[in-house]
Structure 1
């Protein structure tokens, strides 16, 4: 079993070939479905061999393909100040990119 720990969207994710994950929105605009991405590996596990050396990981590429763009759950923000009548309600939905891991090449 080959898997890798990659840095994606400010977080670390455990990925293997064929797995799908949600990362923060990629790029400034909407990426087209089928666009290839390179993710930075932090750790590579190949059976019993564990590679965490930065020099050895420089030759490792983790390739992902954009599946689509989705929105996260709605969160509600409410600001309130006591005794003044100040109330402010705001909502937010974070945009995510769903990617599928296509290859882990070492």
Structure 2
């Protein structure tokens, strides 16, 4: 059984036991339990995507870690003008471990 969940403007495929990286959840601490919104649930041969049925489905996750992602280097350059700019960015992430997928009521 797996589900497609929406978090941080993105959608990810998850199953029980998976560890996923999402954008930083600043309100939750390590060890807290969070609930993710479900877009689609696949249970064997049955695929459920009806929003009215999925309102009862829940994906439970536990916050494992808060960390920074890999560094992205940004360089801007314009020829013959002497303009150079170099900056970097590291996105903040939260690692979530999926602990349970509650099947929707049929």
Instruction: State the TM-score, normalizing by the size of structure 2.
Output: 0.92
1:71, CA displacement in angstroms?
Answer: 1.1
CA displacement, residues 43-64 of structure 1 (integer Å, 9 cap, x when unaligned): 0011111100000000001011
Bigger strand share = 2
Unaligned 5+ segments in structure 1 are: none
Moved over 6 A (4+): none
Alignment coverage as a number of residue pairs: 103
Query: Residue 102 of structure 2 aligns with which residue?
Result: 105
TM (norm. structure 1) is 0.92
What is the aligned-residue RMSD (CA, Å)? 1.1
Show the counterpart of 1:54: 51
Q: Paired residue for 2:40, among 33, 40, 43?
A: 43
Q: Residue by residue, what CA displacement relative to the aligned partner does 1:16-43 show, whole Å, maximum 9, x if unpaired?
A: 111100011113x5x3111111111110
Report SS of the residue matched to 2:70: coil
2:21 aligned residue: 22
> Which consecutive unaligned segments of at least 5 residues does structure 2 have?
none
